[in-house]
Amino acid sequence: MNRETRSSISSVVCVKQVPDTTQVRVDPDTGSLIRKGVPSIINPFDLHAVEAALVLRDKFGGQVTALSMGPPQAEEALRKLLGFGIDRAVLLSDRAFGGSDTLATTYALSCAIKKIATQQPVDLVICGKQSIDGDTGQVGPGLAHRLGFSQLTYICSLQEIDLEAGVIRAWRQREDGRELLEAKLPAALTITETCNQIRYAALPDLIAASDKPVEVWNVDDVGADRALLGIKGSPTRVKRIFAPPARQRGEILSTPGGDPADAAALLMDRLGERDIRLGGSRV
Amino acid sequence: MNPAARETAARATPSRFDAIIVGGGPAGLAAAITIAEAGLKVAVIERGDWPGSKNVMGGLIYSHPTSQIVPDFWKEAPLERHVVRRDMWMTTADSTLKASYETTDFALEPYNSFTVFRSRFDKWLAEQARARGAYIINETLVEDLLLESGKVIGVRTGRPGGDLEGNVVILAEGVNRFLTEKAGLGAKIRPATVALAVKEVLSLPKDRIEDRFNLEDGTGAALEIVGDVTGGLPGTGFIYTNRDTISIGVGVILKGLVDKVGESYELLERFKRQPQVKRLIDGAKPREYAAHLIPEGGYRDMPQLYGDGVLVAGDAAGMVNAVFTEGANLALLSGRAAGETVIRAGKTGNFSAHTLSWYGERLEKSLVIKDLKQFEDAAPFLSSHAHMFNLYPEVASAAMKELLTVDSLSKADKTRLIMRLFRSQVPTRRLVRDAYDAWRAIL
Amino acid sequence: MSDNVRSETDDSPKKAAAKKGRRGRGATKPGDIWVVVENEGGTAGRVSWELLGKAAGLAADLGSRPAVVILGEDDERLAREAFSYGARVAYIASHPSLTPFTADPHCRALSQLARKYKPEAILLGATTRGRDLASAVATDLKTGLTADCTSLEIDEETGLLKQTRPAFGGNIMATIISPDTRPQMATVRPGVFPLPEIIESAEGEIVSTKPRLGDDLPVRQLEFIPNPSDAVSLQGAKAVIAGGRGMKKAGNFALLEELAAELDGTVAASRGAVDAGWISHQRQVGQTGQTVRPVLYIAVGISGAIQHVAGMQESDIVIAINNDPDAPIFDVADFGIVGDLFETIPALIAEIRKRKTAGGAALDFTAGEPSVLKKAGKGAGKAPTEDAENTPDETPRDALGGGE
């Protein structure tokens, strides 16, 4: 996408409403997912993405739009984000989107973002680094690729935006350290939880949120090709789901009154049987 | 898609409200619905993630008062089961004496009462308020009242730009009536007038519940249980049937507990182990724990219900009938009355204590104050007559057992034995005294 | 939604897959199993060799070859190292734009290679760069990608790669397949698969290519600051020794440091110890701390509340030391010692030292196949019907494949 030098930065933040994963279980008798009664929350990493967008708006002005693909109930999540004072909330909702894996999801989201880009500038697409239900971390890079945006993932700190040069500089958290990257705008970012602290929304914004609309778009609104959506558009399929094997109570090697040295020796023997190697040879 | 969103999209956000309601429970929401329906501007400020998220109840939702707030609510509200049978159990460590009432009438619309989950029900009720134009603000704690020359003119929250002004503030803040105290309307709650209730939700398949409790599809039972279950302390236990879970809990006056919450959970565990209770919940898997305080001071402990620019409703106003475990219905009714008061006062433009005193009058004429007055002695009576909760169940059990056991004694001998037992455990003088006190307290 | 998923049980897709399957036994020959080497300036990330070991097994099942992809600058040395770990082919793409790693040029290079040489599957380490690269390439090739697999197997009937991974924060496991697109892509976390044995004399075929890349990159690295050497890293540790309230005071953690030193492990703590101010929050394991999956987790003086267990339950082997026989930690421990930790830990240290002196060389901490596989193999976790549909109102796929 072309951009002339501008004086503000506008971003689209992709958010997802997810089940509170601490409460999701598989019924061990039937093997099915127990979703009933599990509250939905906004993916926590996405809140940091919203905060990052708001921080940039504080500094550079521009518009912050939240975009979410989900069932009608996801409107609740977007309304909550309106309470943070974002400018616009768009819900991409259609039965056709259901059952999408990350490839189909990034396709749908990119259609929506392209439509938004016809209405306002889109300099940044910001996502949380991963969702707590899927845990894949694939949507951010996938979106970057589809949109032809520069890809900046695991961003733990925003350094600066040089509007003249049309670049953003940010620190990326790697396993072995941090790297400072410079990316051409427009860019797609994924944000880590250490990047910022979620602000405490102002009361006037919370009240005003009730009066702000959540725009709802369907497949036709964004001109998406149905063959690339939902199950049809998803190359991956879930073959089966099951409860992870529960840890079982193991062996008690020693009780009080026993000789600690004996217990230690027995433990090391057991570890040796499990093929734990110490000193290059088995214990 | 929430149609309300499209409808409200066009209106301007107020910076000043006709009423600000602290607390999104039944009292607060009933007030909000009443006020919003009249076209006035009302905001509900709830500290939980959503209305109901912080609420727990060991009681029932009653059809009549609720339908006054939202007519035909049972058609759409998230309700568990409509209750057709009420049980009263007196327990000892190994026995139960039961009284039970069931009627086919309660199985017919509009029904009489329902078991619910407050986190779902209140949330739904809040949506009703929102759909009628009320502003529901969650995750926000009201820290203080805004005063001007002694008049309440609004609230202060901890948020940036967090002061909100309104004509009337309705304190529906719940049992810890912190702002009510700040407004000078009432004293801090005392351990002697508050009960701590702990509750567990156990899951059991729907069919098994209906089997166990002998219920028809979709109907429910509510059991109130006294005696051994509270370990001799004044209080009651309850068991309610939900769709595919059972709520079981026990509440005792706080003052009687040394290690409060821990001891309460121990009581619950003991309750669950009682043989007749155990059989009822056998195989049910624990899903959730919750605990909550219940105001049980009754009429004597109520705060002032109104002041300049302020009204108090629901648990914050101590509106709980402990004898009948009614609280939510009184909250709804008082909330509605508070709402009506705001509308009335709005017409005059005067929000002084004098104008708002209409609220007190309204409640005095309704069952809310009438019932609370009638049972005003109940809580102190029960507190000071703890033996009602252990002695009488024991004696009754022993008597029944003797009566029903067929052994070598003749019926006449048995009768004599029972009378002797009675007299030794409960001297006639005391029996008469207790009967008299109970009559005075409850009738 | 559910209807679509239920179509898994219909005849047509399965028959078609079965027809497509039986590869290497008459129909088109399956392609190779590729592993993308994490090339950090000429040194390979260990996960690359772990995956290569797995790839060799998968390739053998399919009748094709394990291969590596090395993106960087003239890395024949790495190719030879790959052969010693079992690769039979090494595709090398050299270009200055490939160093240091940024996603865009690596994505282009890998996509070009995949389009030309048509692998059956591509495996990458589920590291920050691996995930970025995998997602970009999968999007480019319009193919299926499964993240964080804990198990990979070839389905006997269909010849497809069965990719098993946790979802919903580890509360459920899902097996995923990509039946219609190639290559089948998967990322795997370091430490899930064991390191294969080295065969010094192994040889293989080197395919050197020059990728079509520009010099003008959308993202460039300006600076890199490595982690300070004293930074606490619980994540990569193979052995974690965690102390709880039973430790009684901060000074006693020195005992755990000593044990950790013997096991080349890291000291961690439960929330109780952190809240007591005995140790930094950086070392906290649990729901409000970190989740760790080491080979060995030793819980010392920790009661085992569910909030703590949530953070370490995926460890391969859990050892608990506590003087309370009723402590819930024993319900999740493979081995438990009920006793005084202040006597047990020194005894353990002494025993380890004794055995080391007898055994000799430096510490190398590895285990057999990860515990999830072990336990899954024992038939734990009752399996539902083979197909994915579970609840009539929704499928789990939204979470498992979709979203971030």
Task: Give residue-wise pLDDT tens across range C72-130.
Answer: 976 789 999 999 999 999 999 999 999 999 999 999 999 999 999 999 999 999 999 99
pLDDT band (50, 70, 90) for residue A30: low
Tell me if A268 and C179 make a contact (CB, 8 A cut-off): no
Measured CA to CA, the distance from residue C325 to residue C313 in angstroms comes to 19
Measured CA to CA, the distance from residue C380 to residue A26 in angstroms comes to 14
pLDDT at position A134 is 74
The angle, 0 to 180 degrees and rounded to 10, between the axes of the packed helices A139-147 and C128-141 is 50
Q: What are the backbone dihedrals phi and psi of residue B171, each rounded to the nearest 5 degrees, phi first?
A: -90, 100
pLDDT at position B434 is 83
Q: Where are the alpha helices (DSSP H) in chain A?
A: 44-60, 75-82, 102-119, 139-147, 203-209, 219-222, 260-273
Tell me if B159 and A214 make a contact (CB, 8 A cut-off): no
CATH superfamily label, C4-209: HUPs (3.40.50.620)
pLDDT band (50, 70, 90) for residue C15: very low
Tell me if C175 and A240 make a contact (CB, 8 A cut-off): yes
pLDDT at position B389 is 76
Residues of B in contact with A93 (CB under 8 A): 1
Query: Which chains, if any, share at least 3 CB pairs under 8 A with chain C?
Result: A
Q: Which of A200, A210, A211 sits opposite B159 (nearest CB)?
A: A200
Residues of C in contact with A98 (CB under 8 A): 1, 398
Contact C34/C67 with Cβ under 8 angstroms?
A: yes
Give the mean pLDDT of A90-117. 95
Task: List, for residues C286-317, the tens digit of each pLDDT value.
Answer: 877 777 888 899 999 999 887 788 788 888 89
Is ipTM over 0.85?
A: yes
Q: Which of A205, A206, A214 sits opposite B5 (nearest CB)?
A: A214
Full pLDDT tens readout for chain B, 443 residues: 343 443 334 467 888 999 999 999 999 999 999 999 999 999 999 999 899 988 888 789 999 999 999 999 999 999 999 999 999 999 998 899 999 999 999 999 999 999 999 989 999 999 999 999 999 999 999 999 999 999 999 999 989 999 999 999 999 999 999 999 999 999 888 887 888 888 999 999 999 999 999 999 999 999 999 888 887 777 889 999 999 999 999 988 887 776 655 677 788 888 999 999 999 999 998 888 888 889 988 898 899 999 999 999 999 999 998 878 889 999 999 999 999 999 999 999 999 999 999 999 999 999 999 999 988 887 777 777 777 777 888 888 888 998 899 999 898 998 899 888 888 888 878 878 888 887 777 76
Residues of C in contact with A136 (CB under 8 A): 131, 135, 145, 147-148, 401, 403-404
pLDDT band (50, 70, 90) for residue C401: very low
Domain boundaries for CATH 3.40.50.620 within chain C = 4-209
pLDDT at position A4 is 64
The angle, 0 to 180 degrees and rounded to 10, between the axes of the packed helices A102-119 and C128-141 is 80
Residues of C in contact with A22 (CB under 8 A): 169, 171, 287, 310
Torsion sign over Cα A78, A79, A81, A85:
positive
Residues of C in contact with A176 (CB under 8 A): 40, 226-227
pLDDT at position B194 is 87
pLDDT at position C391 is 32
pLDDT at position A278 is 43
Tell me if A243 and C143 make a contact (CB, 8 A cut-off): no
Distances (CA, A) of C182 to A237, B308, C4, C370: 14, 74, 22, 28
Measured CA to CA, the distance from residue C333 to residue C335 in angstroms comes to 5
Domain boundaries for CATH 3.40.50.1220 within chain C = 239-400
DSSP conformational letter for B331: H
In chain C, the residue whose alpha carbon lies closest to the alpha carbon of A238 is C176
Q: What are the backbone dihedrals phi and psi of residue A238, each rounded to the nearest 5 degrees, phi first?
A: -85, 120
A to B CB pairs, distance under 8 Å? 57
In chain A, the residue whose alpha carbon lies closest to the alpha carbon of C224 is A179
Closest Cα of chain C to A220: distance in Å? 19
Highest-confidence segment of A114-123, C27-36, C195-204, C258-267: A114-123
What number of other Cβ atoms are within 10 A of residue C142's Cβ?
12
Q: Which residues contact B402 (CB under 8 A, 6 or more apart)?
A: B414, B417, B418, B421
In chain C, the residue whose alpha carbon lies closest to the alpha carbon of A17 is C403
Closest Cα of chain C to A235: distance in Å? 5
Q: Coil, helix or strand for B129?
A: helix
Is any Cβ of chain A less than 8 angstroms from the Cβ of C202? no
Q: Which of A33, A144, A270 sits opposite C391 (nearest CB)?
A: A33
A101 versus C16: which is more confidently predicted? A101
Tokens of B31: 């007030």
Chains B/C: 3 or more C-beta pairs closer than 8 A? no
B371-386 burial by CB neighbour count: b if 16+ within 10 A, else e?
A: bbebbbbbbbbbbebb
Q: Is the CATH number 3.40.50.1220 carried by domain C239-400? A: yes
Highest-confidence segment of A2-16, A126-140, A175-189: A175-189
What number of other Cβ atoms are within 10 A of residue A25's Cβ?
14
Measured CA to CA, the distance from residue B120 to residue B297 in angstroms comes to 28
pLDDT band (50, 70, 90) for residue A2: low
Chains B/A: 3 or more C-beta pairs closer than 8 A? yes
Residues of B with CB under 8 A from a CB of A: 1-2, 5-6, 8-9, 11-15, 43, 130, 135-137, 140, 157-164
Contact A44/A132 with Cβ under 8 angstroms?
A: yes
Q: Which of B5, B137, B161 sits opposite A213 (nearest CB)?
A: B5
Tell me if A230 and C4 make a contact (CB, 8 A cut-off): yes
pLDDT band (50, 70, 90) for residue C12: very low
Contact C175/A31 with Cβ under 8 angstroms?
A: no
pLDDT at A212 over 70: yes
Tell me if B160 and A207 make a contact (CB, 8 A cut-off): no
Is any Cβ of chain A less than 8 angstroms from the Cβ of C291? no
Is any Cβ of chain B less than 8 angstroms from the Cβ of A23? no
pLDDT at position B234 is 79
Amino acid in position B392:
Y
Contact C133/C124 with Cβ under 8 angstroms?
A: yes
What long-range pairs does A93-96 form, CB within 8 A, spacing at least 24?
A: A93/A69, A93/A216, A93/A217, A93/A218, A93/B1, A94/A218, A94/A219, A95/C1, A96/A218, A96/A219, A96/A224, A96/A226, A96/A229, A96/A230
Contact B355/B310 with Cβ under 8 angstroms?
A: no
pLDDT at C369 over 80: no
Q: Which residues pair with B22 in a beta bridge?
A: B45, B171
Measured CA to CA, the distance from residue B438 to residue B435 in angstroms comes to 5
Closest Cα of chain B to A203: distance in Å? 5
In chain B, the residue whose alpha carbon lies closest to the alpha carbon of A208 is B13
Tokens of B16: 């000043």
pLDDT band (50, 70, 90) for residue A256: confident
pLDDT at position C5 is 35
Tell me if C171 and A24 make a contact (CB, 8 A cut-off): yes
Residue C207 burial by CB count (10 A; 0-12/13-18/19+): exposed, middle or buried?
middle
Give the mean pLDDT of A107-127. 97
Is any Cβ of chain A less than 8 angstroms from the Cβ of C257? no
pLDDT at C56 over 80: yes
pLDDT at position A22 is 61
